[in-house]
Amino acid sequence: MEKVYVGLSGGVDSSVAALLLKQQSYEVVGIYMKNWSQDFPGVKCPWKDDYQDAKRVAVQLGIDFKMYDFEKQYRHKVVDYMLAEFKAGRTPNPDIMCNQEIKFRLFLETAIDDGTDYIATGHYAQIENSNQEIENSKKADKKLIPNSQLLVPRLLQAKDANKDQTYFLYRITQEALQKTIFPLGNLIKPQVRALAKKHKLVSADRKESMGICFVGKIGIKDFLSQYVDKKPGKIIDQSAGRRRWTVGEHDGAIFYTIGQRHGLDVGGGLPYYVTGKDMKKNEVYVTTDLQDKKLWSNQINLADIHWINEAPLQEQSLQVRTRHRAKLIPVKKLNLLSNFEALVKLDEEIRALTPGQSAVFYSGNVCLGGGIVV
């Protein structure tokens, strides 16, 4: 019997993932990843409650259960990275880094060393292979086929477009895909909830987790405030056709991101949108004009490119997504400047392109990879 270590967070998605794997006759072991335990003023880290919920699910399913303590590595690989990016004036995505460094590297390596054949998570994504013979044999067998049997595993969008998480998974490696199963990829969220209720799982009615990956229900400004001092500065209106003038004061340029509307605390008249910031001068620039050219762009400069398989062909039809759940934008031309840099020209303009965020490429339903906006 093949063994699968499934990441159990205590939520409904990972619980149902474990349930489905057990139904497919795998030897399933639940793993709770302890990535964070620090409390913040007024906000208690939920890790103990999450751990207990995950353990209850494991007991219900009759599977073994373990905890992996990755807190030291998470702080170094995810939190330190996130803080460095914010201090540099960029807006990173910690969930993407968590997937790259913790779930599909550290968890995978630890689990394999611990004796598992595969890992699984409750992510909404699918893994397929481009070889048609393997595809046909897969369809003939109802069991979830381990991906080591696939010649060229590819990351595909989930059936549930609203829940699809491939944007957060684009930095996964082909080697990791070969050892990974995503049991929820062909389900929609209501089906997952229904399965949890049918089997009376304790997580069936649990709400969606919010906040920073594994940290809990804390906003990014409150989180950053624990590590950086407030540094008041000017909010400056740079709307086209107007003279530059100060419209308010901020707590620190580090707390603001391109396109941001809420939290500016600038009263009167039309709403303001952040168009840029100067970290050295500690100034935040805004406009009331949603069509301001500073908010729009038809090209993207990318660094730290990662392709799951190989770089796309020049003639390949591509789309790009610059935020989770944002619409896919057709790519006019992809210029690969090096193995790690690219210039992307788009068929239409996109709003609030933000340095530090990720741009992720798709060809049809296949997630190819992506890079960091600079």
Predicted pLDDT at 135: 42
The CATH superfamily of 229-287 is: Adenine nucleotide alpha hydrolases-like domains (2.30.30.280)
- Cα-based angle 67, 157, 215 (whole degrees, multiple of 5): 35
More confident residue, 123 or 39: 123
Q: What is the pLDDT of residues 286-320, one digit of tens each?
A: 999 999 999 999 999 999 999 999 999 988 999 99
Q: Count Cα neighbours of 279 within 13 Å in the Cβ-side half-sphere.
A: 11
Q: What is the pLDDT of residues 158-201, one digit of tens each?
A: 999 999 999 999 999 999 999 999 999 999 999 999 999 999 99
Mean local confidence (pLDDT), 28-37: 97
Q: Count Cα neighbours of 245 within 13 Å in the Cβ-side half-sphere.
A: 7
Average pLDDT across the chain, whole number: 91
Active site residue 213: yes
- Alpha carbon separation from 44 to 37, 50, 94 (Å, rounded): 9, 12, 20
pTM: 0.91
Q: Which of these is catalytic: 172, 213, 254, 318?
A: 213
3.30.470.20, 2.40.30.10, 1.20.58.1910, 2.60.40.420: CATH of 293-373:
2.40.30.10
Q: Which of these is catalytic: 31, 96, 98, 295?
A: 98
Q: Is the dihedral of CA 203, 145, 96, 175 positive or negative?
A: positive
- The CATH architecture assigned to 3-198 reads 3-Layer(aba) Sandwich (3.40)
Q: 172-178: which pairs have CB atoms within 8 A and are 24 or more residues apart?
A: 172/99, 172/100, 172/104, 172/308, 173/104, 173/308, 174/308, 174/309, 176/104, 176/105, 176/108, 177/127, 177/147, 177/153, 177/308, 178/147, 178/148, 178/150, 178/153
Whether 141 has a pLDDT exceeding 50, the answer reads no
Whether 33 has a pLDDT exceeding 50, the answer reads yes
Cα 252 from Cα 235, distance rounded (Å): 10
Tokens of 368: 């190819």
In the chain, what are the domain boundaries?
Answer: 3-198, 229-287, 293-373
Whether 113 has a pLDDT exceeding 50, the answer reads yes
